Amino acid sequence: MGRAAGIRRGEARFAAYLDEIASVLGHAGRAAAARAYCTGLLLPGARKSVEPMAARIEPGRVQARHQSLHHVVAKSEWDDAAVLAAARRLVLPALERHGPVRYWILDDTGFPKQGEHSVGVARQYCGQLGKQDNCQVAVSLSVAGDHASLPIAYRLYLPETWAGDPERRARAGVPEGIGFETKPEIALAQLRRARAEGVPPGVVLGDAGYGVETAFRAAIAGLGLTYVLGVQSSAGLWPPGETPLPVPPYGGRGRPPTRVRRAPGHEPVSAKKLAESLPARAWRSITWREGSRTALTSRFAAVRVRPAHRDQKRSEPWPEEWLLVEWPKGATEPAKYWLSNLPPRTALKDLVHIAKARWLIERDYQELKQEIGLGHYEGRGWRGFHHHASLCIAAYGFLMAERCLFPPARRFTRRRLAAPALPEGFQPRGAADPA
């Protein structure tokens, strides 16, 4: 009886959640189809494209159900941002049961595709394959605590070959206002919108594909946000305590000088060279979380530096910030580098913990793809691509909210289910005599 009542309460929560999500779609028939679509995404099944979902949802009327699901995802005009905002509004209170929002995580994910007609498809790097191949790529922003996360913005990256091709754009239904934007430009627009909508702020995290751009980091700081962003080993930096030469005094002729300078013997170094020059005492072993089998530990060092990117065109040096470096024990060279504008008194262990929190989005994408079917949409148009993704994220949001009803697994197993110590000399029945 208790289990049945619990199941009913879960079903009631799901129905109420879907009602809130569907309410932003406007039309009653559209809302009903969206509820069915989200249900189909959460039902068991290897394939979450429209036809298999229709067969699972309504096996006696597959064709009719197929038409309604296809129409709501591929044809209907509704606002993806509104659906994602509704999911965020419903899920954030559950996520915050286990602590405040601490991170805003930027990432992009690829979907391998055959042919050339699916919107945005091009030969580009695909993280799922780990190489260049034919795929679509989408950029996302997620909010996260230490135990749960949720994507709140999601947009397809449109390569230049697509953005400048009117015929392909028309066939795929790309909106007129969508032009070519780099992934960092898309991400920055997502950050600005989240800031404007009052989303609880967190430290912005991203890999070197985003952190490599000095202007991007400066724009994030301009939004009043802190960041820990990956950079490449070749990033130019002024070592601790060094800066470019100041603007020279005016000599009385011509235009007054306005830019800082470099000189032979007084030049920046690469992040790799700087890391290799650090003394042994700068490196510490830090454990940042429990993995599936063992604690995740590596060696790290952090120093205060100044970026050197195009500073000869500036009237003053770039602000000082952290360079965080990971150099695993036994490795021949450092593995990863980050720049961060977190306060100067930030502890090394805190820098590492924050930098490594990006694993949350990797888990999200794994479940969105494997369990929810994020990459299973078979249509070719802009609208369908985003409608499918928005409903996938909404369905995933319900799962995250349900998980947040329970204590985080690590806390639960360690603090509440700690096994008592065995008596001294205990020997299981039937075990061989140790003597």
Burial pattern 97-126, b for ≥16 Cβ within 10 A else e, equals ebeebbbbbbbbbbbebeeeebbbbbeeeb
pLDDT band at 414 (very low <50, low <70, confident <90, very high): very low
Query: Regarding predicted confidence, which is higher, 148 or 323?
Result: 323
Task: Render pLDDT for 310-322 as a digit per residue (tens, 0 to 9).
Answer: 888 898 999 999 9
For the whole model, what pTM was predicted? 0.88
Q: What is the mean pLDDT of the chain?
A: 90
pLDDT at residue 415 greater than cutoff 50:
no
| 101-122 mean pLDDT | 94
pLDDT at residue 242 greater than cutoff 60:
yes
Looking at the chain, how many residues does it have? 435
pLDDT of residue 385: 97
- 234, burial (CB in 10 Å: exposed 0-12, middle 13-18, buried 19+): exposed
The neighbour count for residue 370, using CB atoms within 10 Å, is 11
The neighbour count for residue 362, using CB atoms within 10 Å, is 13
DSSP structure class, residue 76? -
Compute the distance between CA of residue 146 and CA of residue 354 in angstroms, rounded to an integer.
Answer: 9
- 361, burial (CB in 10 Å: exposed 0-12, middle 13-18, buried 19+): buried
Compute the distance between CA of residue 197 and CA of residue 164 in angstroms, rounded to an integer.
Answer: 32
pLDDT at residue 413 greater than cutoff 50:
no
pLDDT at residue 295 greater than cutoff 60:
yes
Closest residue by Cα to residue 146 from 325, 17, 290: 290
pLDDT at residue 7 greater than cutoff 60:
no
Percentage above 70 pLDDT, the chain: 91
Percentage above 90 pLDDT, the chain: 73
